[in-house]
Amino acid sequence: MKKKIIPVRRDLKVNLPEDRVCDWHYDGGHVTHFFNALSLLFPAGERFFMDSVRKFRDHADDPELKKAVLGFIGQEAMHTREHMDYNEMLERAGLPANELDQFTWKLLDRVSKVLPKRMLLGGTIALEHYTAVLGDMILRHPDKLANAMPEYVTMWRWHALEETEHKAVAYDVWEATSRSKDEDYFNRVTAMVIATAILWPVLGYFHLRLVMADPKLKGKRISGYKSLAKFLFGKNSPFPSIVPETLKFFRRDFHPWDDDNEELLAEMDVILKRVAEQSRQAVAAGDAANAPGVSAAPAAA
């Protein structure tokens, strides 16, 4: 393993303004729904990650790695909880969030029944690479969320930080339980091809469904894609770099910490202080029941 960063389970709760769930990014509803579509993938996706890693953790001998796995599972569990709440807000706004969430659960359930568990772990490290790349973009390019409500910015940057913190855990479990380097390389790249073929069409489909269902976008459902295209592919946009970053995964000597961005994790203290201050303000305003909060605790298996 190139690095031994032990992920910390943080029980963070951000009080997202529900009335703005469809337009929290001021670049428009189409940009907002790009992130909302990502959110719909996370509950089932992160449960898939946790289950895939659990099946192999007892075969790893390194006690530090086992500790990292517990942190990984703890973080993913918190992400799942928060995105389930986020997605319920989308459902209450009249969007087909529950239907799309169930689509993801059923899709991953079918995949889990068809593919061997080693390939499922391969799919996990492939998708964890995508979340790490996207997380790095969010952290390195704060301008992409500059025109957004601060509570949603906090939510997405916290998620990006923890995806960065645990980005190598599933991969290290993969390497620690390897029996054949050649066979594992083949399985790893095959898993990335399968994951890519599933991820982007599903994300595009989810985005389209959200846009079509959002009454606020009536009359600009097609034209609004110009703002999304500008956001994703406009001048100085980091998103086109997803392609070369993905291709790095196909190197035989690839490791997630080849991109050493550990310095970005220093922002975690800022995020925790911000949520604590939001909590104090909510309590002072007499809204203790909806106050955000955060605590760090040992992860449960």
| Domain, as residue range, for 141 | 25-266
Q: What is the CATH number of the domain that holds 100?
A: 1.10.620
* pTM of the model as a whole: 0.92
Report the pLDDT averaged over residues 65-82. 96
Closest alpha carbon to 239 in 31, 10, 29, 67: 31
pLDDT at 287: 59
What pLDDT score does 293 carry? 57
Band (pLDDT 50/70/90 cuts) for residue 103 is: very high
> Does residue 136 fall inside a structural domain?
yes
What is the torsional sign of CA 136, 3, 270, 19? Answer: positive
Q: Is 180 helix (H, G, I), strand (E, B) or coil?
A: coil
Tell me if 67 is assigned to some domain. Answer: yes
Percentage of residues of the chain with pLDDT beyond 70: 92
CA distance 40 to 216: 20
In a domain, 271, yes or no: no
Q: Is residue 102 part of a domain?
A: yes
Give the integer Cα–Cα distance in Å for 29 and 33.
6
Does 4 reside within a domain? no
300: pLDDT strictly greater than 50 = no
Q: How many domains does the chain have?
A: 1
